[in-house]
């Protein structure tokens, strides 16, 4: 039998891809010939052709918001994507038995129902999700909000501000018709387009783990947002990040793509030999120039610039960039960049709020007065007051870490490992990661031991949860087994957030298990003297010769930590019968 499989999910990243793979495999086990159209944000969907549709015996649609008009005259079965994941084979067999021929009248009825769902009588929500790295929390929080709204019969549209930019962008008409705006963000965003709308702020973590509560809070306590008051009129959720940390994460989120791109370019230069970049005119030298001389040179200024931007909006960007460049030139590194960003941001905000000019000269403030005064103040403070002491601290810290061995190195590895696994991509995790990337960037030509410990520990939680679902199969549901497989793959890619679904259900057992494994992985990485030249990539960095020093023992450290996490959680997790009793 020839079947067509179409999958989609609210976030377009996890469930759609998982369902597509499971259904294709199930179809093969049934001896059916399957062609898959998977809608996801990772890559454009390969749409079914007219010929493929015409020759199909059955069309299986796993997901909503799929136009079935093109399947008129074919046998079609449509259900929620989550129904396909627990038992894909049974899902296909049900589809084959229950599918009905789609008529023009059925298509018209579906379109009418969709219009009814978004009628003015139903509650309408628009939302934005954004996390510092723009990878996992951004999309998982979006999917959680969409699922919760769907349960309640609300209309919702979520704009994701991920690492690839804004997706599913909100239109002016959608914003105008919305009853409430939910901003689930860990970084500062431009909210001017929501002026006059009822707006509620929270974090991606709260939106993901306490979705129902946050939606209730949004309708109960959101207040009208006034752009001129820098968001002061908008009700803020208790879970929203503190101001200082949020400003820091705004800078970090803009810095990370530069660090990752630069670090991987540097690592690629070692493919041609560890010292090949010293020979001018070679590809190795070009890669080092791109990564070390250009990307890493931008790291601190960009971080400082966007910390200031988060504090003072656009007027803070220029003094922040200038302060960050000064921090780099005087050798104060990422610590100096952080200081420069806050000095520039708060000085720019002070000038904007306190300096009063005649109405005829007010237009000069954002383009002349604020940049000039804030840049002068920031520059002079960095040069004469802050810069030199911080440069000495950075130099001492780098020297101390370079000379670390024995118990001191192991202790640092344990601390970094525990931090990476405590909140799985949250504030503590990000502090440890920024520490590692900052040290790597301060000396990009030398393998960084702390960076290696950070990445090793960060891979443990998600891999460990995958191991636990495999070792203690009887303690997990079918859905958790599938989540475990996805978590394992995410862990290999250094995405700690793969363990979040498990931590959200059982935090008191999952978090201690992940921290134990992370501490072991970090300690062993430091003990074995493993160094890393790239700030991201997970185990796939092993494909780059020279990117990891002592690579074999690095794999041992990750495997040991992951095994400890997996076995520990598999042991302490109660059986399904106990949980449901």
Q: What is the pLDDT at residue 447? A: 73
Distance CA 73, CA 210 (A): 43
| Whether residue 581 has pLDDT greater than 80 | no
Q: What is the pLDDT at residue 576? A: 62
| Whether residue 238 has pLDDT greater than 90 | no
Distance CA 187, CA 324 (A): 19
Q: Which residues, at least 6 apart from 140, have a Cβ–Cβ distance to it below 8 Å?
A: 11, 14, 204, 208, 497, 500
The active-site residue, picked from 131, 265, 418, 530, is 131
Distance CA 307, CA 548 (A): 31
State the pLDDT confidence band at 400, using cuts at 50, 70 and 90: low
* 190: its two tokens: 């431009």
Q: Which residues, at least 6 apart from 413, have a Cβ–Cβ distance to it below 8 Å?
A: 453, 457, 519, 522, 523, 524, 525, 526, 527
Distance CA 358, CA 364 (A): 10
| Whether residue 401 has pLDDT greater than 80 | no
Q: What angle do CA 439, 249, 136 make, to 5 degrees?
A: 95
pLDDT digits (tens, 9 = 90+) for 327-343: 888 877 777 888 899 99
Q: What is the pLDDT at residue 120? A: 42
Q: What is the pLDDT at residue 41? A: 62
Nearest in space to 273 (alpha carbons), one of 287, 293, 260, 261: 287
Distance CA 397, CA 306 (A): 25
Which 3-state string (H, E, C) describes 360-423?
HHHHHHHHHHHHHHHHHHHHHHHHHHHHHHHHHHHHHHHHHHHCCCHHHHHHHHHHHHHHHHHC
Q: Would you say 107 and 168 are in contact if contact means Cβ atoms under 8 Å apart?
A: no
Q: What is the pLDDT at residue 564? A: 94
Quick one: residue 527, left, alpha or beta (phi over 0 = left, psi -120 to 50 = alpha)?
alpha
pLDDT digits (tens, 9 = 90+) for 133-176: 666 678 888 888 988 888 888 888 999 887 566 788 888 888 88
Nearest in space to 341 (alpha carbons), one of 370, 389, 364, 374: 374
Nearest in space to 185 (alpha carbons), one of 303, 310, 301, 308: 310
| Whether residue 443 has pLDDT greater than 80 | no
% pLDDT > 90, the chain:
18
Q: Which residues, at least 6 apart from 465, have a Cβ–Cβ distance to it below 8 Å?
A: 483, 484, 487, 488, 491, 498, 499, 502, 510, 565, 566, 569
- Cα atoms in the Cβ-side hemisphere of radius 13 Å centred on 18: 24
Q: Would you say 124 and 179 are in contact if contact means Cβ atoms under 8 Å apart?
A: yes
Q: What is the pLDDT at residue 119? A: 44
Based on the residue annotation, tell me whether 38 is a catalytic residue of this protein: no
Residue scoring higher pLDDT (7 or 246): 7
* 298: its two tokens: 């931008």
Question: Mean per-residue pLDDT for 6-24?
Answer: 78
Q: What is the pLDDT at residue 242? A: 56
Q: What is the pLDDT at residue 267? A: 74
* 176: its two tokens: 């105008």
Question: Mean per-residue pLDDT for 419-442?
Answer: 76
| Whether residue 232 has pLDDT greater than 60 | no
Q: What is the pLDDT at residue 237? A: 47
Distance CA 284, CA 344 (A): 37
Chain centre distance of CA 86? 26
Question: Mean per-residue pLDDT for 384-405?
Answer: 73
Residue scoring higher pLDDT (397 or 140): 140
Lowest mean pLDDT among 366-370, 426-430, 566-570: 426-430
Question: Mean per-residue pLDDT for 21-41?
Answer: 87
Question: Mean per-residue pLDDT for 242-269?
Answer: 77
pLDDT digits (tens, 9 = 90+) for 172-220: 888 888 889 999 887 777 787 888 888 998 888 888 888 888 898 888 8
Q: What is the pLDDT at residue 113? A: 53
Q: Of the spans 63-72, 492-501, 506-515, which averages the highest pLDDT?
A: 506-515
| Whether residue 440 has pLDDT greater than 50 | yes
Q: Give residue for tokens 């905000």.
A: 349
State the pLDDT confidence band at 444, using cuts at 50, 70 and 90: low
The active-site residue, picked from 9, 265, 418, 421, is 9
The neighbouring-strand residues paired with 257 are: none
Q: Which residues, at least 6 apart from 365, have a Cβ–Cβ distance to it below 8 Å?
A: 315, 351, 352, 355, 357
Question: CA dist 389 to 297, 326, 406, Å?
Answer: 21, 14, 29
| Helices and strands counted in the chain (H then E) | 24, 14
Q: Would you say 138 and 145 are in contact if contact means Cβ atoms under 8 Å apart?
A: no
State the pLDDT confidence band at 59, using cuts at 50, 70 and 90: very high
Q: Of the spans 3-12, 349-358, 431-440, which averages the highest pLDDT?
A: 349-358
| Whether residue 17 has pLDDT greater than 90 | no
Q: What is the pLDDT at residue 233? A: 43
Q: What angle do CA 184, 187, 191 make, to 5 degrees?
A: 70
Average pLDDT of the chain? 81
Based on the residue annotation, tell me whether 418 is a catalytic residue of this protein: no
Q: What is the pLDDT at residue 107? A: 57
Q: Of the spans 30-44, 193-207, 218-232, which averages the highest pLDDT?
A: 193-207
Residue scoring higher pLDDT (318 or 483): 318
For 153-188, give the DSSP string.
Answer: T-EEEEEEEETTEEESPPPHHHHHH-SEEEEEESS-
Q: Of the spans 7-11, 240-244, 309-313, 479-483, which averages the highest pLDDT?
A: 309-313
């Amino acid at each position: 039998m020839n079947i067509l499989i179409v999958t989609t999910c609210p976030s377009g990243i996890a469930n759609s891809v998982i369902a597509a793979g499971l259904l294709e495999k199930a179809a093969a086990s049934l001896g059916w010939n399957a062609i898959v159209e998977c809608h996801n944000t990772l890559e454009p969907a390969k749409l079914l052709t007219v010929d493929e549709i015409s020759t199909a015996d059955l069309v299986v649609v796993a997901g909503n918001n799929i136009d079935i008009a093109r399947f008129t005259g074919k046998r079609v079965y449509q259900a929620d994507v989550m129904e396909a994941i627990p038992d894909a084979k049974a899902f296909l067999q049900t589809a084959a038995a229950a599918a009905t021929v789609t008529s023009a009248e059925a298509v018209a009825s579906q379109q009418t129902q969709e219009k009814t769902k978004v009628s003015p009588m139903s509650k309408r929500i628009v939302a934005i999700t954004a996390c510092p790295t723009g990878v996992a929390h951004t999309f998982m929080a979006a999917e959680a909000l969409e699922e919760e709204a769907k349960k309640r019969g609300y209309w919702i549209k979520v704009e994701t501000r991920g690492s690839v930019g804004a997706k599913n962008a909100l239109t002016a008409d959608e914003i105008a018709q919305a009853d409430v705006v939910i901003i689930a963000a860990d970084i500062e965003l431009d909210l001017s387009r929501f002026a006059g709308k009822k707006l509620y702020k929270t974090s991606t973590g709260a939106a993901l783990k306490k979705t129902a509560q946050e939606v209730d809070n949004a309708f109960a306590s959101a207040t009208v947002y006034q752009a001129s008051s820098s968001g002061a009129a908008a009700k803020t959720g208790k879970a929203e990040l503190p101001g200082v940390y949020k400003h820091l994460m705004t800078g970090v989120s803009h810095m990370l793509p530069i660090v990752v791109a630069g670090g991987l370019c540097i690592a690629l230069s070692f493919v041609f030999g560890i010292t090949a970049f010293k020979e001018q005119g070679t590809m190795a030298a070009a890669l080092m120039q791109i990564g070390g001389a250009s990307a890493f040179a931008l790291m601190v200024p960009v971080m400082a610039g966007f910390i200031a931007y988060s504090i003072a909006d656009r007027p803070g960007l220029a003094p922040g960039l200038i302060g960050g460049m000064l921090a780099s030139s005087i050798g104060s590194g990422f610590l100096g960049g952080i200081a420069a960003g806050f000095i520039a941001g708060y000085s720019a905000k002070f000038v904007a709020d306190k300096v009063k000019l005649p109405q005829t000269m007010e237009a000069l403030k954002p383009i002349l007065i604020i940049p000039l005064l804030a840049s002068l103040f920031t520059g002079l403070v960095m040069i004469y007051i802050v810069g030199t002491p911080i440069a000495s601290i950075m130099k001492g810290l780098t020297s101390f870490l370079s000379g670390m061995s024995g118990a001191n190195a192991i202790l640092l590895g344990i601390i970094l490992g525990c931090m990476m696994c405590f909140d799985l991509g949250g504030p503590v995790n990000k502090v440890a990661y920024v520490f590692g990337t900052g040290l790597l960037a301060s000396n990009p030509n030398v393998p960084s031991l702390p960076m290696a410990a950070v990445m090793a520990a960060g891979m443990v939680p998600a891999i460990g949860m995958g191991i636990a679902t495999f070792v203690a199969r009887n303690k997990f549901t079918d859905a958790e087994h599938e989540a475990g497989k996805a978590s394992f793959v995410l862990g290999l890619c250094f995405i700690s957030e793969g363990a979040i679904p498990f931590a959200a259900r059982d935090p008191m057992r999952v978090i201690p298990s992940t921290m134990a494994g992370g501490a072991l992985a970090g300690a062993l990485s430091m003990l074995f003297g493993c160094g890393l030249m790239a700030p991201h990539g997970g185990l796939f960095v092993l494909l780059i010769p020279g990117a990891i020093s002592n690579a074999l023992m690095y794999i041992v450290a990750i495997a040991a930590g992951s095994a400890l996490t997996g076995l520990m959680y598999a042991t302490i997790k109660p059986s399904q019968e106990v949980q449901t009793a």
